[in-house]
Structure formats: structure tokens, C-alpha cells
Amino acid sequence: MESMSVESMSVESMSVESMSMELEQSGILQETDEFAIETIHLSKFFGKEKQIRAVDNLNLQVKKGEVFGFVGPNGAGKTTTMKMLIGLLEPSEGSGKVAGFDIVREVINIRETTGVLPEPAGFYDNLTARQNLRFYAKLYNIEPGVREKRIVNLLETVGLTRAIDQKTGGFSTGMRKRFGLAQALVNEPSVLFLDEPTSGIDPLGAQMMRDLIKELNRSKGVTVFLSSHSMEEVEEICDHIAIIAKGKLLAAGSVEDLRDMIREKEGVHYLLEVQDIPLSEAAEAVKNVEGVTAFDIRDRTLHVSAKMKLRTEIAKAVKKAGGTVSMFEEEEMNLQKLFLKIIEGA
């Protein structure tokens, strides 16, 4: 653990207890029993004058048993946050808990109940896969009989049974990623921290890792805290997502929650195909619907922008004009586009 002084664990002379009470009363935080990870005003400053705010007033809640995505541009504070959560960095302000343990006072407990796959992951390359896992298992005082069986089971889980007695120095990037996951699971953690688990590996290997993560979460109920630059990956496997930039939390929720956030700012965009009347007539009918802000005809499709969801009203207007709607879709943004919208100007 890095030797760093701990600043006051309060903000404006408030105790952690009073901060928690205030946040619960305001609705920012709920009861804590259901959360595997939670932070209150978590902050980390660097520099003599504390002018570099790597993490700034971060409030997070990760429910037990979910896969939680933590995304942001380079330098956003993702790695610093993760280091504080696993006890490698002490916060400058605020507090946090992982698996019910305080991230400053109960670091040993956190390390006993969590697994970590860092980027890059480090192994003893002159040892075999079995020998590496045996070494790490001994650090957790796992009984020899249990330990040896677990090693075999873990390597089978990540598809490395045939490489059990091969030196890890000869592993490919994909094999090293999967072996790193096995290493992170050796103590049967309740919370798993994954930093860029699929970076540098081919699409097939990346999908294999994603499937492994989903299966671990589904079958064992492991809470997963995932940091990744792959928006496709995060959208596929994460239940909830937090977006951070310049140390500040910009948004948190499901992908649909993030879509609603953008809808409130930019409105809703629809695509329509219409039969029985020309699109120009359909457009004339739609433009009179209250809340419609713009329309355009492109590639035999009517594009409609509205301040809010107006699917029923638009369909009724087209029908009243004598048309039949044969296709009606909302132009939904994927996570990549949502991410870029949310961090604009941050």
C-alpha cells in the first residue's frame, strides 16, 4: 500500500455519520445492506496544493449481484477510484465501503473478500499456471486439499485445463487475460474488480471473456465492478453504468436511464414508413402535432423530431390524413453515442 497521509474524513467539519444521514434523507443514498460497493463524497487530490482533483466528490452505489460498468475517457479518474476501493490509495476526503468493509480501516477484510484483475495483470512467468495459482492460494491460507481441487476447477472454468502445467510466460494475451480471471477468483470473492478485461485480445477471445463474466455473475452471484473503454462490451454485460470525466460523476443508471437523460435534453427522434399517401402529406399532418419540432424526408423514410415521446399522437395524425404507418421506430442511441453526448463539454 502506498504511504499517503489521510486527510480529514469529513467535508466542512461534518462527520461521516452525519454525511450519510444527510444523503439518505435527501435520497442520494438508500439503505446500505443491498450494496456491495458504496462511496460518499469520495475524493482524491494530488499536488502540494491539492490542485489536481483526480476524483472529486464521488457518490456511487453498486447493488449486490450486479455487473456495474465504470466508464470515462483517459484521465477521468477510473483507475484512481478503483485503487481507493481496493485499498491501494487512501482517499483525501469522503468514505467508502466494499463488501461492507471500510476502504481505509478494513483494507485486509476487503482484500480477503474481493478479487482483482488489473491492467496489466502480473504473474510469475517462470512458474506454471498451477504453480502460480498455488502461490496465490497459499496467501489466503486455503487448505491444501481444497486448494488443489480449486486450482483445477478454476482453470477448467476459464478454458485453460490443457495449459495447467505450462509456464505462464508462454501464454498468449488472451490466455493471460483468462488466467488473470482465474487468479482473481482463487479466494472465491463476493466482489470482483476488472480493469480492461478484454483489452488487446481478438474478438473471439473478448467474447469468451464476456461470457465468462456473465456466467460468473449469473451462477455465483458475484458482484462485478468493470472498467472498460469498450462501450459495446459495457452495454452487453452491465446492469448499470456510471460515466465519469475529470473526476466527477456525470451520469449513472441503466442504458435506458441514460437514453432518458439525453431525451430530456435533445428530445425524441422517430423513423416512419407510410403507405397509402405520399410522405409529403404525412409530413404535413405530423408537423401540426403539438411537440413536434422538426421533420425531414430521406430515403423514403419520414424522420420526425419531438420534444417528448409522441408515438401515439403521430400515428393518429398520419391515420387521420389517410395514411397507414408500416414502420415506426424510435432512433435509439447505443451506449457509444450516449457516452459521447454525456461527456460533451465536461
Domain closes at, from 201, 229, 253: 253
Q: How many angstroms separate the CA atoms of 117 and 119, rounded?
A: 7
Query: Is the domain of 275 the same as that of 217?
Result: no
Q: According to the model, what pLDDT value does residue 86 have?
A: 95
Segment 253-266, tens digit of pLDDT: 999 999 999 988 88
Which range has the worst mean pLDDT, 22-36, 163-177, 270-284?
22-36
Query: Is the domain of 121 the same as that of 182?
Result: yes
Query: Is the domain of 93 the same as that of 31?
Result: yes
Instruction: Judge whether residue 8 has pLDDT over 50.
Output: no
Q: What are the phi and psi torsion angles at 149 (to 5°)?
A: -65, -40
The alpha carbon of 218 is separated from its chain's Cα centroid by a whole number of angstroms, namely 17
The overall average pLDDT reported for the chain is 89
The verdict on residue 229 lying in a domain is yes
Query: Is the domain of 227 the same as that of 321?
Result: no
pLDDT: is 12 or 60 the higher one?
60
The verdict on residue 8 lying in a domain is no
User: How large is the average pLDDT for residues 270-292?
Assistant: 93
Distances from the Cα of 45 to the Cαs of 60, 83, 92, 128, in angstroms?
Answer: 18, 13, 6, 40
Instruction: Judge whether residue 17 has pLDDT over 60.
Output: no
Predicted confidence band of residue 339 (pLDDT cuts 50, 70, 90)? very high
Domain closes at, from 188, 218, 253: 253
Give the range of the structural domain holding residue 241, as residue numbers without chain letter: 16-253
| Cβ atoms of residues 42 and 84 within 8 Å | yes
Distances from the Cα of 40 to the Cαs of 23, 44, 81, 130, in angstroms?
Answer: 8, 12, 12, 40
Query: Is the domain of 123 the same as that of 235?
Result: yes
Query: Is the domain of 213 the same as that of 271?
Result: no
Q: How many CB atoms lie within 10 A of CB 18?
A: 12
Domain closes at, from 232, 253, 274: 253
Q: According to the model, what pLDDT value does residue 232 have?
A: 92
Query: Is the domain of 171 the same as that of 229?
Result: yes
Query: Is the domain of 193 the same as that of 332?
Result: no
**96 beta partners:** 39
Segment 186-210, tens digit of pLDDT: 999 999 999 999 988 889 989 999 9
Percent of the chain at pLDDT exceeding 70:
90
Query: Is the domain of 152 the same as that of 20?
Result: yes
Q: How many angstroms separate the CA atoms of 28 and 289, rounded?
A: 38
Instruction: Judge whether residue 89 has pLDDT over 50.
Output: yes
The verdict on residue 9 lying in a domain is no
Predicted confidence band of residue 16 (pLDDT cuts 50, 70, 90)? very low
Q: According to the model, what pLDDT value does residue 72 have?
A: 95
Which range has the worst mean pLDDT, 32-41, 125-134, 235-244?
32-41
Which range has the worst mean pLDDT, 127-131, 165-169, 265-269?
265-269
Query: Is the domain of 194 the same as that of 318?
Result: no
DSSP 167: B
Instruction: Judge whether residue 22 has pLDDT over 80.
Output: no
User: How large is the average pLDDT for residues 138-155?
Assistant: 95
Query: Is the domain of 238 the same as that of 291?
Result: no
CATH, residue 37: 3.40.50.300
Spatial neighbors of 50 by CB under 8 A, at least 6 apart, are: 92
pTM: 0.82
The separation between the first and the last C-alpha atoms of the chain, rounded to the nearest angstrom, is 32
Predicted confidence band of residue 32 (pLDDT cuts 50, 70, 90)? low
The verdict on residue 3 lying in a domain is no
User: How large is the average pLDDT for residues 199-224?
Assistant: 92
User: How large is the average pLDDT for residues 245-249?
Assistant: 95
User: How many domains are there within the chain?
Assistant: 2
Instruction: Judge whether residue 28 has pLDDT over 80.
Output: no
User: How large is the average pLDDT for residues 314-327?
Assistant: 94
User: How large is the average pLDDT for residues 48-76?
Assistant: 93
Query: Is the domain of 270 the same as that of 246?
Result: no
The verdict on residue 1 lying in a domain is no
The verdict on residue 2 lying in a domain is no
The verdict on residue 6 lying in a domain is no
Instruction: Judge whether residue 14 has pLDDT over 80.
Output: no
CATH, residue 273: 3.30.70.100
The verdict on residue 321 lying in a domain is yes
pLDDT: is 200 or 102 the higher one?
102
Q: According to the model, what pLDDT value does residue 37 have?
A: 98
